[in-house]
């Protein structure tokens, strides 16, 4: 075509293409992908609307657009980056993509001002790294069953400058860990198994291990809650992200495990998202 493919023209065409394929965040996704290809920030696109995009960059962009629209690959996996707690985090299909709801867990944990914490199911390391950045005196252990996930977390910890305070350990929940933590935090798998196939197509690309919570979504939570008291100092706290409608059931589980106090935190959408339980004095 004789008409130049400028930044603005590409964005308009792509946003419309995404809209036709049922992608709600059509404009945002187009901007994120083009900024990635052009190795610039999104805001820079607005300063370069009239600039032509080289054919080689258009080819790279076209392939990303195809995968986003046709295969419904999440943008974060296409670009390798997701922002969380104002930090750019490296992500791969080996880890769950950090979500804004999980910032509720970070806020709840930061308010407790722990000195030694454990992040169970650390994945990309988003929760542990955000806490380490918020609390300069905090030391943490991040645990995951996936070695590939731990490698992603290690890269993110180094990029954020907190690797000296974040030890990464491969383990099944709290197996083999100490009993000296004043906080255990976790965003565990909590999607009921029967709902996995009905999730958005983008979620089909994310690791099932990080999503599947068993028949009622509470399998991992039950195990973690049962183990946690033995690994907390007296007065230590357990902070858990939970799925929609699960808070009441999780509160019953932590009460049965001996929690002395309970607190619920709501996410920005108003859902009861985080359960915080204290054990002992």
In a domain, 87, yes or no: no
Same domain, 214 and 267: yes
pLDDT at 4: 83
pLDDT digits (tens, 9 = 90+) for 236-257: 999 999 999 999 999 999 999 9
In a domain, 252, yes or no: yes
Same domain, 36 and 169: no
pLDDT at 236: 96
Same domain, 22 and 158: no
Same domain, 225 and 262: yes
Same domain, 150 and 118: yes
Same domain, 140 and 264: yes
pLDDT band at 67 (very low <50, low <70, confident <90, very high): very high
In a domain, 167, yes or no: yes
- Structural domain that includes position 215: 92-279
- Residue 159 sits in a domain whose CATH number is 3.40.50.150
In a domain, 79, yes or no: no
pLDDT at 1 over 70: no
pLDDT at 2 over 50: no
Strand partners, 184: 118, 238
In a domain, 109, yes or no: yes
Outline where the chain has alpha helix (H): 7-20, 26-37, 42-46, 55-70, 75-79, 102-111, 126-134, 147-160, 219-227, 247-256
pLDDT at 44: 93
pLDDT at 232: 96
Percentage of residues in the chain having pLDDT higher than 70: 99
Query: Last residue of some domain: 16, 36, 71?
Result: 71
Residue range 269-277: average pLDDT?
95
pLDDT at 179: 85
Compute the half-sphere exposure of residue 161: CA atoms within 13 Å on the CB side of its CA: 5
Query: Last residue of some domain: 19, 37, 71?
Result: 71
pLDDT band at 78 (very low <50, low <70, confident <90, very high): very high
Query: Last residue of some domain: 71, 104, 126?
Result: 71
In a domain, 1, yes or no: no
Same domain, 155 and 55: no
In a domain, 22, yes or no: yes
pLDDT at 253: 97
Distances (CA, A) of 105 to 48, 185, 202, 264: 38, 8, 23, 11
Distance of CA 4 to the CA centre of its chain: 39
pLDDT at 16 over 60: yes
Same domain, 131 and 268: yes
Same domain, 223 and 272: yes
State how many domains the chain has: 2
pLDDT at 85 over 70: yes
pLDDT band at 210 (very low <50, low <70, confident <90, very high): very high
pLDDT band at 25 (very low <50, low <70, confident <90, very high): very high
**Least confident window among 43-47, 96-100, 220-224, 238-242:** 43-47
In a domain, 85, yes or no: no
Compute the half-sphere exposure of residue 32: CA atoms within 13 Å on the CB side of its CA: 18
Asked whether the CA dihedral 109, 114, 120, 123 is positive or negative, the reply is: positive
Same domain, 168 and 54: no
Query: How long is the chain?
Result: 281
């Amino acid at each position: 075509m004789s008409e130049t493919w400028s930044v603005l023209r590409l964005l308009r065409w792509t946003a419309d293409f995404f809209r036709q394929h049922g992608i709600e965040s059509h404009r945002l996704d187009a901007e994120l992908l083009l900024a990635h290809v052009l190795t610039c920030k999104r805001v820079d696109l607005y300063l370069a609307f009239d600039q032509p995009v080289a054919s080689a960059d258009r080819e790279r962009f076209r392939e990303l657009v195809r995968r986003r629209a046709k295969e419904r690959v999440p943008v974060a996996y296409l670009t390798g980056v997701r922002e969380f707690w104002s930090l750019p985090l490296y992500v791969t299909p080996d880890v769950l993509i950090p979500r804004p709801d999980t910032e509720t867990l970070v806020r709840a944990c930061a308010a407790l001002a722990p000195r030694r914490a454990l992040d169970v199911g650390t994945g990309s390391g988003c929760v542990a790294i955000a806490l380490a950045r918020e609390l300069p005196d905090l030391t943490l252990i991040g645990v995951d069953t996936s070695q590939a996930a731990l490698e992603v977390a290690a890269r993110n910890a180094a990029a954020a400058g907190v690797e000296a305070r974040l030890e990464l350990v491969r383990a099944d929940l709290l197996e083999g860990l100490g009993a000296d933590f004043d906080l255990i935090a976790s965003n565990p798998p909590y999607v009921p198994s029967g709902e996995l196939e009905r999730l958005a197509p983008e979620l089909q690309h994310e690791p099932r291990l990080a999503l599947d919570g068993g028949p009622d979504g509470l399998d991992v939570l039950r195990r973690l809650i049962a183990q946690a008291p033995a690994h907390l100092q007296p007065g230590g706290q357990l902070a858990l992200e939970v799925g929609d409608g699960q808070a009441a059931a999780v509160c019953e589980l932590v009460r049965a495990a001996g929690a002395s106090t309970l607190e619920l935190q709501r996410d920005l959408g108003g859902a009861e998202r985080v359960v915080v339980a204290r054990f002992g004095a």
